Amino acid sequence: MSEQRTVAVLGASDNPERYAYKAIDRLAGKGFDVIPVNPTLKEVLGLRVLPTLGEIDTKLDTVSVYLSAQRSTALAGEIVASRPGRVIFNPGAENPVLATTLDEAGIPWMHACTLVLLATDRF
């Protein structure tokens, strides 16, 4: 496992059928500090949900994105301002516009599935 320890899940869900929910559960189960982010929720799996990345006052190693390109593009400034060590675009969350913005800001990103990376110890 890499040194990535604090992970924000952008687009957190309280629905056990959603991949964002499963990612929160598995990240926490593997010992990561997980910060769910969603402006409409208060808690997921006993974790306090923050409304925005701007509310996070700790260094983020990873932002795992579970939002459509339309929704994540609107959050580009917030994502860049959080200065994460990397951004993961999960399947369905690919966003070329945001990827270009991240490149310009010097923030590494990847198209990957957080759940697969965790299952294969490559997170």
Q: How far apart are CA 115 and CA 113, in angstroms?
A: 5
What pLDDT was estimated at residue 4? 52
Q: How far apart are CA 41 and CA 99, in angstroms?
A: 27
What pLDDT was estimated at residue 3? 56
Give the distance, in angstroms, between the CA of residue 31 and the centroid of all CA atoms in the same chain. 16
Specify the pTM. 0.95
> In whole numbers, what is the pLDDT of the chain averaged over residues?
96
Q: How far apart are CA 68 and CA 89, in angstroms?
A: 10
Superfamily of domain 6-119 in CATH is NAD(P)-binding Rossmann-like Domain (3.40.50.720)
Q: Which residues of the chain have pLDDT under 50?
A: 1-2
Q: Record the tokens describing residue 55, joined without a space.
A: 């509310």
Instruction: List the chain domain ranges.
Output: 6-119
Helix (H) or strand (E) holding 49: none
φ and ψ at residue 37, rounded to 5 degrees: -130, 120
What pLDDT was estimated at residue 2? 47
